[in-house]
Amino acid sequence: MNNSFNTDLLGKTVNIRTLATGVLPTQLRSVKIMSILDPATAQSLDDVITRHAAITPYLTGWKPARYTDQNYVKIQHNNGNVEYFGTAWLDFSTAEIVTDEFVDIRLGSTSPEDMQRLRTVLMKAGFTDIRSITRGASAPVQPA
């Protein structure tokens, strides 16, 4: 498996799996790859030394011994928050470029409680841009 960072991802919004389940979410959804940073620059912006120590034991692949043994990716979430991820923490072979496409789903016979449960499930799956429109019931279409 080739897990090296691909510079074609710079500036793109992607879904990407992580390699440290248990301490990181299984997948990062709709995150923008802002830049690739050397360890010293990443440490000047965030405490990647502490994160490295906390995450490395949970990695399923290569485990860099020191925080300086890998570069770091600056990632921006769709809510504007920025995080720094070691390249060993991400599975670049799973990166999927995301476009701004919306899916409309219509559900009948739902209650407000159903809508809240659905929203909770979608959020746990990593979807954050959820919009709902509630309309009153309409008469069924009569066959011709």
Distances (CA, A) of 92 to 6, 40, 98: 8, 22, 14
Residue 80 gets the label, from left (phi > 0), alpha (psi -120 to 50) or beta, of left
Q: What is the pLDDT of residue 128?
A: 74
- Full pLDDT tens readout for the chain, 144 residues: 446 788 889 999 999 999 998 899 999 999 999 999 999 999 999 999 999 999 999 998 889 999 999 999 999 998 899 999 999 999 999 999 998 767 777 888 888 888 888 888 888 877 777 877 676 655 555 555
Question: What's the token pair of residue 38?
Answer: 């050397």
Q: What is the pLDDT of residue 1?
A: 40
pTM comes to 0.69
Question: What's the token pair of residue 69?
Answer: 């043994």
Q: Are 88 and 70 in contact (CB under 8 A)?
A: yes
Q: What is the pLDDT of residue 143?
A: 59
Report DSSP state, residue 89: G
